[in-house]
Structure 1
Amino acid sequence: MTIALLFDIGSTFTKVTAVDCDADKLLGTSAAPTTINSDVNEGLEQATAQLEQQTGVIADRADLKLACSSAAGGLKMVALGLVPGLTAQAAQWAALGAGAKVLQTFAFKLSKQEMEKISELDVDIILLTGGTDGGNSDTILHNARVLARSLLDVPIIIAGNKAVQDEINGILQATGKDVRITDNVMPQLEELHIEPARQTIRAVFLEKIVKAKGLDAIQCFVDRVVMPTPSAVMDAAQLLAHGDGKNQGWGELLVVDVGGATTDVHSMATGDPISSGVVLKGLVEPWKKRTVEGDLGMRYSAASLFAAVGEPFLLRTGKELNSNLSFSGDDLERFIISLGEEPNKICASEKEIFFETIIGRAAVTAAMNRHAGRLEQVFTPHGEVFLQRGKDLSRVRKIIGTGGILVHHRSPQVILAGTIRPPEEKTVLTPLAGEFFLDKEYIMSAAGLLAREMPTTAFNLLRRYLTTV
């Protein structure tokens, strides 16, 4: 029996999954509090000890031990670009696609105040972009000089105009900055080329960030830390969509991860216009796209969720879900405040569970609406035209829910229904219908860790353990 132990070191809990790679079978899972602030190995040892009690699997005898992590705040980045809707947007997609949390994106020439703001952020990597190849170079050179004069001591990845990359490298290295050069994220106008930047970000994560966050201490416990946890989830989603080379994939799909601090949406889809008379406008978004909504969490950012979606929307959602239950906006607001004050709160009463369903549905709806493309009606001398910005996800049917909120909820399908476009909505291009699956065993991150080394095992695990709801 070939056994793999797959670790997900989160900010709160460290989860370990044991897999029989010969039978493509899950042997068991366990979890323990993450101990990143003391000795991270303590949490790993507790989790594996529990796993041994449950399954008999002994960590030292495992054939493969891989880990991903979002502990210590995950991989935090700032992206710099030339124009908000072009290179700055491309830089953001590259960072998000690498599993990073983008703290902020800046466009145009950095001001003194903006540089001060960046210096105040707890950032791990700077992604410096701007200009197509042979195009505008003033902005990226200006920003390089501003970064060179700063006291920042983090890796800087140059992914802009290749005509001045060597000059930028010299400017930054002259003041002792740690610099990496990769391909331009936008070599030609409105042409995305973000995969090299993604790979460079991952490489820096493994080389520098793992050590900086104290995760290198686990190297004696695991074979290696492979990637940030969101990257593992994206790799699993990509494998499931494409297949493993032997088995046909599911095709286009969505993954919705509802957490205490954020709601993330991953789409594996082209998103091209599907209706006649619709013209795609702006950047063609990546097939593998991830968005992170930091104001739509179910615990730590519950108050910002309330502010973002608004009381009327929450009340309307509640009435749609249960028209017989009487409650007020004040009732909802008090409950949401309590979630922020008690992030480990477990909802017990029927009313609390119902309120949690309302805000879960609202978080998913808002996150999905931000992720999907939109239609804009325009009148021209030749008649009516519809402009599409972003992805049209109308035909995506496979929708996977993951994250503790969904996994432990009695009605996850009700929350996931927030991904579906209501009949009256004509402009937001979310799915028109869906088949819902739940990641009850937290198999997404585990399969993502195995995806490159054992793609067939990873694919079979996903097919077996993602359950219909």
Structure 2
Amino acid sequence: MKIDILVAEIGSTTTVVNAFNLYPCPTFLGQGQAPTSVEDGDVNIGLKSAISDLVDNLGTNRIECNEIIATSSAAGGLRMTVHGLVYDMTVKAAKEAALGAGANVKYITSGKLRKSDLRKIKEINPNIILIAGGVDYGERDTALYNAELIADLNLDIPIIYAGNVENQQEVEDIFRGKKAELYIVENVYPKIDELNIEPTRKVIQKVFEEHIIHGPGMGKVKEMITGPIMPTPGAVMEASKLLYEHMGDLMTIDVGGATTDVHSVTPGSDEISRILINPEPLAKRTVEGDLGVYVNMHNIVDMVGKEELAKKLNISLGKLERLIENYKPIPEGELEIAFVEELALHGAVAATKRHAGRLRYLYGPSGKKTVAEGKDLTMVKTIIGTGGPLTRLPNRVEILKQIPLNKKAHELLPNKEVNILIDNYYIMASLGVMSKKYPDEALELLKLSLGIE
């Protein structure tokens, strides 16, 4: 069977492959999946098993692909550390760029690095280090100081410099002769209250593609890939940005087994923009590493409270304890499904509240003044659910409807009139990476999976 394009999503626990034809019209053919084989020392095993599953699901003996592209979050995904000058300014801008590219930001520093910071960087063993600091033609010394210390570590990884433009030549001199491959990018914070994160975001994804070694056997996988490969969360962001151009302000929520990602693409309202303390990017991603419905299930249980959960599920505390003790990655039976729905609900609401901005009231000689900080979601018209739980649970739409209903007066959350859409085929990440080469076809397939005209 001939297939135009195969997209592999190599996750921490599961590898999924999605098959598409692009001609004469974009068509989703089917999906295969298998456990990711990190523990076997070669993720290629899991990829081949997922392709075999796809072959069975398509009812054929073998498939031939014109192109194979991929996303990956195996072995912790894209680990980055970010180092800037002032936390609310250059550090925040660099962090936004890294998260928006799909990175897992493991460590952030502001100001001059200390010995303890350098030890932490070596412990984390990041895939990429991002150095920022100083507006253009402003403070220079901190970024140069940090660059020298990081260069002395002599790490064999890519280093991205996205700080004060005046430092670019000196940073090149600092890293000359070192193992690290240096990338010089436009400043992420060129002027006060101005973000410029897209150039850095694009370079991070380019570096990821060129240096992907994040899981055992990824080198073999890269040999199979004929097109782009990018971090899975970055691919979801690309799909969200593509949809924004078509349907306006939106957010995408991915509740997973270990984390919950929230992507928003909205400029916010003019009213809130006028009182924002610090600028926010058009496209923003946050990842909550403590909110997941399997690996981090106990965090959500503790947040809600066992008595409250037992009450919601209409069971005894003892039965809830047994349910938690015997909990499996994929729920079976009505009670287990209801339990996961409660976890997904509270995970989605909590993650969105952390992603969203809020109003604050400052009191001074002239009286009370209202200011805003963080991302304004009040203009979001559509919430999209993707990921395992929010594409498979029976009450997935009702779960997402609860987000605006839990809004408090000071929170900049979407309004209750928001439209809910589901990535029914669970192909959003695949279409995000596909959109790099085939944006029109990816958009058509996205609309198909979301059930919109």
TM-score scaled by structure 1?
0.88
Q: Which residue number in structure 2 is paired with residue 133 of structure 1? A: 136
Q: Which amino acid aligns with 2:411?
A: V
Aligned counterpart in structure 2 of residue 297 of structure 1, from 289, 292, 296: 292
Q: Residue 119 of structure 1 contacts residue 151 of structure 1 at CA under 8 Å; is this kept in 2?
A: no
Q: Which residue number in structure 1 is paired with residue 243 of structure 2? A: 240
SS of the counterpart of 2:130? Answer: strand
Q: Which residue number in structure 1 is paired with residue 355 of structure 2? A: 371
Q: Which amino acid aligns with 2:253?
A: V
Aligned counterpart in structure 1 of residue 268 of structure 2, from 268, 271, 285: 271
Residue deviations 1:115-168, cap 9 Å, x none?
Answer: 111111131110011111111122112211221222533211111111112212
Say yes or no: does 1:259 pair with 2:256.
Answer: yes
Residue deviations 1:23-64, cap 9 Å, x none?
Answer: 222111111122244333322222222222222567653222
By how many angstroms is 1:176 displaced?
A: 3.5
Q: Which residue number in structure 1 is paired with residue 156 of structure 2? A: 153
By how many angstroms is 1:199 displaced?
A: 1.4
Q: Which residue number in structure 2 is paired with residue 21 of structure 1? A: 22
Q: Which amino acid aligns with 2:115?
A: K
Q: Which residue number in structure 2 is paired with residue 430 of structure 1? A: 413
Say yes or no: does 1:345 pair with 2:347.
Answer: no
Give 1:6-405 correspondences, 5 Å limit.
6-22=7-23, 23-36=25-38, 37-56=40-59, 61-210=64-213, 214-242=217-245, 249-274=246-271, 279-307=274-302, 309=303, 311=305, 325-328=314-317, 335-336=323-324, 339=327, 344-405=328-389
Alpha-carbon distance change, 136 to 421 in structure 1, aligned in 2, over 3 angstroms:
farther
Q: Which amino acid aligns with 1:7?
A: A
Distance (Å, rounded) in 1 between the aligned partners of 2:325 and 2:90: 38
Residue deviations 1:196-249, cap 9 Å, x none?
Answer: 11111112111112487542312443313421111111111111121xxxxxx1
Q: Residue 268 of structure 1 contacts residue 288 of structure 1 at CA under 8 Å; is this kept in 2?
A: yes
Alpha-carbon distance change, 141 to 47 in structure 1, aligned in 2, over 3 angstroms:
same
By how many angstroms is 1:335 displaced?
A: 4.8
Q: Residue 361 of structure 1 contacts residue 416 of structure 1 at CA under 8 Å; is this kept in 2?
A: yes
By how many angstroms is 1:250 displaced?
A: 1.4
Q: Which amino acid aligns with 2:285?
A: R
SS of the counterpart of 1:391? Answer: coil
Distance (Å, rounded) in 1 between the aligned partners of 2:342 and 2:284: 26
Alpha-carbon distance change, 377 to 332 in structure 1, aligned in 2, over 3 angstroms:
farther
Q: Residue 98 of structure 1 contacts residue 202 of structure 1 at CA under 8 Å; is this kept in 2?
A: yes
Aligned residues: 448
Q: Which residue number in structure 2 is paired with residue 245 of structure 1? A: none
Distance (Å, rounded) in 2 between the aligned partners of 1:350 and 1:421: 25
Residue deviations 1:303-342, cap 9 Å, x none?
Answer: 33445x353xx755776x66xx2555x8657755655xxx
Distance (Å, rounded) in 2 between the aligned partners of 1:115 and 1:332: 44
Say yes or no: does 1:457 pair with 2:441.
Answer: yes
SS of the counterpart of 2:257? Answer: coil
SS of the counterpart of 1:427? Answer: coil
Distance (Å, rounded) in 1 between the aligned partners of 2:211 and 2:363: 52
Q: Please, which moves more after superposition, 249-258 or 218-227?
A: 218-227
Q: Residue 27 of structure 2 contacts residue 445 of structure 2 at CA under 8 Å; is this kept in 1?
A: yes
SS of the counterpart of 2:88? Answer: coil
Distance (Å, rounded) in 2 between the aligned partners of 1:336 and 1:113: 39
RMSD: 2.5
Distance (Å, rounded) in 1 between the aligned partners of 2:240 and 2:209: 22
SS of the counterpart of 1:15? Answer: strand
Distance (Å, rounded) in 1 between the aligned partners of 2:412 and 2:87: 22
Runs of 5+ unmatched residues, structure 1: 243-248
TM-score scaled by structure 2?
0.91
Q: Residue 265 of structure 1 contacts residue 292 of structure 1 at CA under 8 Å; is this kept in 2?
A: yes
Say yes or no: does 1:441 pair with 2:441.
Answer: no
Distance (Å, rounded) in 1 between the aligned partners of 2:348 and 2:143: 37
Q: Residue 80 of structure 2 contacts residue 105 of structure 2 at CA under 8 Å; is this kept in 1?
A: yes
Q: Please, which moves more after superposition, 127-136 or 41-50?
A: 41-50
Runs of 5+ unmatched residues, structure 2: none
SS of the counterpart of 1:66? Answer: strand
Q: Which amino acid aligns with 1:284?
A: P
Q: Residue 4 of structure 1 contacts residue 63 of structure 1 at CA under 8 Å; is this kept in 2?
A: yes
Q: Which amino acid aligns with 2:412?
A: L
State percent identity of aligned pairs.
Answer: 38
Q: Residue 94 of structure 1 contacts residue 194 of structure 1 at CA under 8 Å; is this kept in 2?
A: yes
By how many angstroms is 1:358 displaced?
A: 2.1
Alpha-carbon distance change, 171 to 38 in structure 1, aligned in 2, over 3 angstroms:
same
Q: Which residue number in structure 2 is paired with residue 246 of structure 1? A: none
Alpha-carbon distance change, 85 to 47 in structure 1, aligned in 2, over 3 angstroms:
same
Q: Residue 269 of structure 2 contacts residue 379 of structure 2 at CA under 8 Å; is this kept in 1?
A: no
Alpha-carbon distance change, 317 to 388 in structure 1, aligned in 2, over 3 angstroms:
farther
Distance (Å, rounded) in 1 between the aligned partners of 2:61 and 2:6: 10
Distance (Å, rounded) in 2 between the aligned partners of 1:454 and 1:351: 42
SS of the counterpart of 2:87? Answer: coil
SS of the counterpart of 1:280? Answer: coil
Distance (Å, rounded) in 2 between the aligned partners of 1:139 and 1:57: 60
